[in-house]
Amino acid sequence: MSELRITGGNRLGGAVTVHGAKNSVLPLLAACVLCQGECVLHRCPALSDVASSVAILRHLGATVTVEGDVITVNAAHVTQSDIPEDLMRKMRSSIVFLAPLAARTGCADVSLPGGCELGPRPIDLHIAGLRRLGADIADGHGRLRCTVSPRFTGTDYTLPFPSVGATENLLLAAATADGTTVLTGAAREPEIFDLIAFLNAAGARITAKPDALVIEGVPALHGCEHTVIPDRIEAATYLAAVAVTGGTALISPVVPEHLAAVLPLFRECGCHLKAWGDSLLLTAPPRLNHLKFVRSLPYPGFPTDAAAPLLAAMTVADGVSVFAETIFENRYRYVDELARLGAAVKTEGRVAVVEGVPRLQAAAVECTDLRGGAALVVAALAANGTTCLTQCHHLDRGYAGLCEMLNALGAQADYAS
Ligand code: UD1
């Protein structure tokens, strides 16, 4: 297993090119299953989760080509209805294949995605919603069998919590359902709207009202061309990485509106930020100021995925910062690893109190999960000496070309096997 070594202390500077959003491209690839023609997706990031989705598509009988950041999927001849356990287990978001596969073939037979490093991640909301759209869902022996005959049926449904994954599965089910679905309580993340844009380009009829998503089912979808939105979490991670070193960087492309809950926090901790067009220029002070209170919430609130890198930046800020996590039960596993670098963080349930220290010291640390790994990268950039990060496969799930991008900004990072 390769190890990422980062020698801290360099002030980062330069330009960051943000990739397409991981959390968009995964549902978009699953959505291709619904389309009976060629779909061309631009700005696809080279991530292990994307490779896992491509492997699932190929298993199902789709033809997939990957050329640079363009992925072309032709699912005209999807033949399989099952996804084997080894493919399902590679990433939790494989569950988003459930509805499109059932819609397309009448049956989806998949293994349960199981828990993950952030605590239990149930799929009860996906199942309850799909049942309301007429699916017959049976589970047993770790597998889930979802059948529809012959199509999902449009209905009114209110999600009890705006789950991103459940909203995606329900949109994918309703797109080719018989009749109209009115979905209230749905997630409103930018990635949801990217999925809607793709589905509409493929012939779906989805309208976003202020309080509901209205999906008029159509008999079938055709191929289309679509560009994935920029990854707001990757952008936030690089903002934190540059800020913690007191650096300056131009970060693009971004949709500033997607970062509306993130950018004020960088200003609060003393950074100067200038946004124009799809670019952001960040200039950080030599030492960051503390953040009074950061609470993760569903969009448009502060994104849970950006909390870990920001918390890591606060470990060397001047003063005490408080973070509250409201989305996942167990998001602070990386905090023990930050402590190895000398960070002073106390957690109690979903709250973390970060007392900024003047300097971190390099150590050997382990990536506990994707965003926890990103937090360790940010901390390592601010530490004295060379930090060795292991379990870097977590980082490969969400950060394309991480080492090269850090070095292009003037960091000292390399992989050693
Ligand atoms: C997606 C993102 C993830 C992000 C999260 C919240 C992808 C691939 N992943 O994950 O990066 O952190 O949104 O913004 O897009 N829940 C249930 N029952 C369900 C579904 C969810 O109880 O059926 C709970 C989860 O356990 C969690 C919360 O709802 O506590 C949020 O989950 P959800 O919004 O579904 O996140 P994901 O779609 O898994």
What tens digit of pLDDT does each residue of 146-175 get? 999 899 999 999 999 999 999 999 999 999
Beta carbon of 123 within 6 Å of any ligand 1 atom:
yes
Contacts of 97 (CB under 8 A, 6+ apart): 30, 33, 56, 60, 83, 108, 110
Beta carbon of 125 within 6 Å of any ligand 1 atom:
yes
Nearest to 400 by CA among 21, 26, 88, 12: 21
Task: Report the atom number in ligand 1 closest to the C-alpha of 22.
Answer: 8
Q: What is the pLDDT of residue 114?
A: 54
Task: Report the atom number in ligand 1 closest to the C-alpha of 298.
Answer: 14
Contacts of 414 (CB under 8 A, 6+ apart): 4, 5, 403, 407
Q: Is 39 a catalytic residue?
A: no
Query: Whose Cα sits closest to atom 7 in ligand 1?
Result: 23
Please give the backbone phi and psi of residue 303, each rounded to the nearest 5 degrees, phi first. -75, 130
Cα-to-centroid distance, 20 and ligand 1 (Å): 20
Beta carbon of 304 within 6 Å of any ligand 1 atom:
yes
Beta carbon of 94 within 6 Å of any ligand 1 atom:
no
Task: Report the atom number in ligand 1 closest to the C-alpha of 165.
Answer: 38
Cα 144 to the chain's mean position, in Å? 24
Say if CB 330 and CB 301 are below 8 A apart. Answer: no
Q: What is the pLDDT of residue 91?
A: 83
Cα-to-centroid distance, 167 and ligand 1 (Å): 10
Residues of the chain with pLDDT under 70: 1, 114-121
Please give the backbone phi and psi of residue 172, each rounded to the nearest 5 degrees, phi first. -70, -35
Beta carbon of 397 within 6 Å of any ligand 1 atom:
no
Cα-to-centroid distance, 164 and ligand 1 (Å): 6
Instruction: Tell me which of 116, 367, 388, 403 is the catalytic residue.
Output: 116
Task: Report the atom number in ligand 1 closest to the C-alpha of 124.
Answer: 23
Two structure tokens written together for 379: 């901390």
Query: Whose Cα sits closest to atom 37 in ligand 1?
Result: 165
Query: Whose Cα sits closest to atom 28 in ligand 1?
Result: 327
**What is the Cα–Cα distance from 149 to 151, expressed in whole angstroms?**
5
Cα-to-centroid distance, 1 and ligand 1 (Å): 29
HSE at residue 12, side-chain half, CA atoms within 13 A, is 32
Task: Report the atom number in ligand 1 closest to the C-alpha of 163.
Answer: 34
In this predicted model, what pLDDT tens digit does every residue of 369-393 receive, in sequence order? 999 999 999 999 999 999 999 999 9
Beta carbon of 350 within 6 Å of any ligand 1 atom:
no
Beta carbon of 122 within 6 Å of any ligand 1 atom:
yes
Query: Whose Cα sits closest to atom 30 in ligand 1?
Result: 328
Cα 115 to the chain's mean position, in Å? 17
* Reported pTM: 0.97
| Residue from 48, 53, 137, 164 to probe ligand 1 pocket by mutation (most atoms less than 8 Å from CB) | 164
Beta carbon of 93 within 6 Å of any ligand 1 atom:
yes
Bridge partners for 389 per DSSP? 4, 365
